[in-house]
Chain A
């Protein structure tokens, strides 16, 4: 009893923003300390058509590497990220099908009986239920609402592809009719769960002890749901944060992925800054269409199967460099946003990579992966054995641990971090 009371008091204190400066004053000064005490966030991004290895990976490993063409836009941020090569998900094959396992590492995604497993973001939320208005955001540039996020039961959770819709959900209060409908559903759900709790209790008195256990289980379940609905109700009653940004205008079609990515990145930064959510996945879907970028004449997917044709490689270079510029812009914005003594980037682990190591041959080994921010020791290029890759899930475990989740293992992980990679 005592422990639960203190825990509750503690939770109440920490959830109030007023308490933050107080906590900070108790801890040693410095950005890292502040980063460690504040809320932790995670952003996972996958670009689905690979990144040409020759243009991204430096020759030299460790800290003093020379910037490659694709790392050039990240020059100012080089101390804020780590680049990895020689990582992969063991037993994940099947070319493009591996898009759905980038965050889950479930083996053999192309096999007919394939069943996906829980993704990193969902695992995090399961271990650490969200306290923000939205537990997470799943975003995509795919017009098919394909996401990176997978439920424990292996179901792909749909992603939002329209920035305008997400913006409205995050920052615009609903119309009275919408609010009324939402309020009604939540209140209805709670009252039903209340009633079911009473039903279970009433029934329990009539049945054998053996059956009573089952009703107890039922009772606990309806209580859980009731509490979850209650939380949603509280959020519904609070106004959404006001932001100065103008609502985004969606870009139709599948060609201008760069414009779509920029809108999503802006939205992600706003969502994190206003603490609407702390967990975001973003799938940058490689498309068939020809992107409106200077010098690009062929579809992106065709170009990714370049077969070493120099003309195609040149066009692919334009597309991939544009992606790196967009990423740099996003990271720089996070870095510039301050939150009680730390930058948003220091508190946000940003994973960026691809499910394909070599899109030209549909190879799912040797994935290009970067991790920025999140309070890790950055500035290195860490290269592992290209013939015997390190499990990417080792890095996922390190990310979970940074959230205070003492996960010994996630999916195919074999260790709790990648060799040579540490927290700050």
Chain B
């Protein structure tokens, strides 16, 4: 909004100038050739009276400099070039007239776009988003900085929170950045000394009968000499929080658990560790530490390190995959499997083990602040500024920062206070907070930053800055080598995480909770595994330089045991895979064992392969209760097929899902597809959505919808508490995944649909290329960028559409190398 207000007057001003200059040349041609075409072939439906599709040609100005007229001309160009307009049933204009129109538009858009990109630059200066800022502070200060949570959430544009338009700045945000920098400097320089680290051992043995929480431990847990076997149950809230521990301060802690699987037919048992406060009346937020697995028999020690977010927090263990025991039956007689816990050790705060932190000495340049001088102060700031600004800083540009620190000294502040002031000013300065470059070709440093925020979501490291300084990034071979180095670096994990989070909306995985009645099999481990699957898949394609078409289909998958069970993928011969954990949900043996996601070949008829069949993708494109072909169709077109869809008209109500089973979504949708004005878009949107109809809201394969069974009173426990709702679904109407593409080709399953998609790979690769260019350059694709995109796609084809090759092609493209 804010941005919009600034841009408009400026663009109007430029537009006025261009129009004046161009008028003598353009206007006669426009009047003679273009205007008659528009009037003759378009105005019937797209004038002031009709305005079909919210588009009118009678007001279209011939100049290509105005932001909104550029969009209109682009749209007109695409519709006419693709043959979609004028409509088939109308008289077609002669080919020569159409070609003249298209050439005229193309030349105009290209020339104007190129001119603007050359003088103003394509991407606008933008601030770092909160993840980038946190990572940058961490790298700059050399300390475990966590400030993203206290910064306001960033907006998105074109689906990404790295895009210039979305990253606006306000006073409140500025104040938060200032506070974040203060907190970061406290951590790095050592603010308050944390209490000394201690190590304590706990068991679940202690029993305070007056406390309900501890009483419940022995309703679903059994003492076994010096250990306690813990079971799963729906009857009580898990009492496995370690009540005897309470973190004295937030910070890093180490937890060790000695445990083994109990009565599990020799199979390992999986469990989860979380941190948080588990003893409140209500559920306070908890943080996942991780999932672990212990074998039967020999007690095994699991060790993990976790950042505890609040004082008073503790840890909790939770076994997974076990059958749910009934409290009424009594724990003594219970003979089901469990997790035998011998002890739990908690050590920390680990930050208390080294004080002051190592980052302090580094930032103080090993000086003693008591004897350091103003010259020392200036030297430290002179060293710090170029790293923070990601480029060399001229003495004149540095002067204000030295001055503000010196002023502190003169006012009687201590050396450390003055240094902090200098650091603080540098960290919130526009040079550090914002990514900048001059219009035209990026210099070495700007290129280094662009690469680094693309592949690492953080500032360049020393090696990359050295490459920027020596000018070697201008050499395509050296640039290639840098990209290879960066992708191999552990920091490249940020690319997988942040790019998939935004591209595939995996950051919204928590946005809905699957309906417990319809999808009782959903649990936290499944969701965790889904994310691992998609990130693992992305990494595999990237690492092995596999074709990006693998995103559409593949004959392999990244699975762990939980996913194999969920997807109903079992070993044919019935042999248990190595280290398969105990599971109460399946009798057959899963294709994969254990918690780690690993690559497996998919058996025929698996209904899996590519991103489209992955749980995470299917979950974020559904609402937890129902799926809609419209929502999934739009999702797929925009994110995977690179074809954005216009928003629906305001006066059309969304379809009301019905899980009673009377009507299917297809029956409801077919009505509006029959209407001509809806059909234009829905003929494109609905088919990919229908193709996914065999996949439910948590990615399970279905041939019939699940519907709610008849209403019944929830059962009560002996204490009069309402029990957890029991599964109340039954099979409903059959699913029909068939439809036809706008081209008329019919499909009857997702497999068919994928085949049709893969027959025309270019649009898919173009879409993927555009997504990567937007994310990496922080700006949407303009008409003038189309040639670059086409060149990258052609280049990718030469390299069998290898993902890694595509990234290299993006990096050496003109669009990436220029502002």
Is this pair of chains taken from one and the same complex?
A: yes
Which chain A residues have a beta carbon within 8 Å of chain B's beta carbons?
48, 95-97, 99, 110-113, 144, 152-155, 184, 188-189, 191-192, 195-196, 198-200, 203, 207-211, 213-218, 220-225, 228, 286, 288, 301-302, 305, 307, 361
B408 touches A214 (CB 8 A): no
Complex Cα–Cα for A184 and B283 (A): 41
Q: List B contacts of A217 (CB < 8 A).
A: 2-3, 6, 168-169
For B167, give the chain A residue with the smallest CB separation. Answer: A214
B417 touches A184 (CB 8 A): yes
Residue B430 CB within 8 A of the other chain:
yes
Complex Cα–Cα for A288 and B424 (A): 45
Task: Scan residues 711-732 of chain B and give those whose CB is less than 8 A from a CB of chain A.
Answer: 719-722
B174 touches A144 (CB 8 A): no
Q: What are 8 A-B pairs at a CB distance below 8 A?
A: A97-B283, A113-B508, A113-B513, A191-B407, A199-B431, A210-B10, A221-B173, A225-B178
B439 touches A198 (CB 8 A): no
Comparing B20-28, B52-60, B120-128, B648-656, the segment that makes contact with chain A is: B120-128
From B127, B173, B428, name the one whose CB has the most chain A CB atoms within 10 angstroms: B428
A188 touches B421 (CB 8 A): yes
B138-172 interface code vs A (CB 8 A; 1 in, 0 out):
00000000000010110000000000100011111
Residue B510 CB within 8 A of the other chain:
yes
Residue B438 CB within 8 A of the other chain:
yes
Closest 6 CB pairs of A and B: A224-B171, A113-B510, A96-B282, A221-B174, A210-B120, A211-B125
B282 touches A144 (CB 8 A): no
Complex Cα–Cα for A358 and B299 (A): 47
Q: List B contacts of A214 (CB < 8 A).
A: 124-127, 164, 169, 434
What's the least CB distance linking A238 to chain B, in Å?
Answer: 22
The count of A-to-B residue pairs whose CB atoms sit within 8 angstroms is 132
For A288, give the chain B residue with the smallest CB separation. Answer: B281
Complex Cα–Cα for A195 and B397 (A): 12
Known: A144-B277, A192-B421. A203 touches B430 (CB 8 A): yes
B174 touches A222 (CB 8 A): yes
Complex Cα–Cα for A144 and B436 (A): 43
B502-534 interface code vs A (CB 8 A; 1 in, 0 out):
000000111111000000000000000000000
Q: Could you say which of A111, A198, A361 contacts B400, with CB atoms under 8 Å apart?
A: A198
Which chain B residues have a beta carbon within 8 Å of chain A's beta carbons?
2-3, 6-7, 10, 119-121, 124-127, 150, 152-153, 164, 168-175, 178, 212, 277, 280-283, 312, 400-401, 404, 407-408, 413, 417, 421, 424-425, 428-431, 433-434, 436, 438-439, 508-513, 719-722
Q: Could you say which of A155, A196, A286 contacts B430, with CB atoms under 8 Å apart?
A: A196
Complex Cα–Cα for A395 and B673 (A): 43
Complex Cα–Cα for A350 and B4 (A): 41
B434 touches A207 (CB 8 A): no
From A110, A144, A225, name the one whose CB has the most chain B CB atoms within 10 angstroms: A225
From A192, A199, A209, name the one whose CB has the most chain B CB atoms within 10 angstroms: A192
For A112, give the chain B residue with the smallest CB separation. Answer: B510
Q: List A contacts of B417 (CB < 8 A).
A: 184, 188
Q: List A contacts of B425 (CB < 8 A).
A: 192, 195-196
Q: List B contacts of A203 (CB < 8 A).
A: 430
4 new A-B contacts, CB < 8 A, other than A110-B283, A210-B10, A210-B121, are A154-B153, A196-B430, A203-B430, A209-B120
What's the least CB distance linking A289 to chain B, in Å?
Answer: 11
For A143, give the chain B residue with the smallest CB separation. Answer: B312
Complex Cα–Cα for A48 and B282 (A): 11
A144 touches B429 (CB 8 A): no
What's the least CB distance linking B593 to chain A, in Å?
Answer: 27
What's the least CB distance linking A111 to chain B, in Å?
Answer: 5
Q: List A contacts of B125 (CB < 8 A).
A: 207, 211, 214-215
B413 touches A207 (CB 8 A): no
What's the least CB distance linking A45 to chain B, in Å?
Answer: 18
Known: A112-B513, A208-B120. A195 touches B282 (CB 8 A): no
Complex Cα–Cα for A110 and B429 (A): 40
For B277, give the chain A residue with the smallest CB separation. Answer: A144
What's the least CB distance linking B511 to chain A, in Å?
Answer: 4
What's the least CB distance linking A114 to chain B, in Å?
Answer: 8
Q: List A contacts of B408 (CB < 8 A).
A: 188
For A222, give the chain B residue with the smallest CB separation. Answer: B174
Q: List A contacts of B433 (CB < 8 A).
A: 218
Q: List B contacts of A305 (CB < 8 A).
A: 721
What's the least CB distance linking A389 to chain B, in Å?
Answer: 21
What's the least CB distance linking A295 to chain B, in Å?
Answer: 20
Complex Cα–Cα for A211 and B720 (A): 65
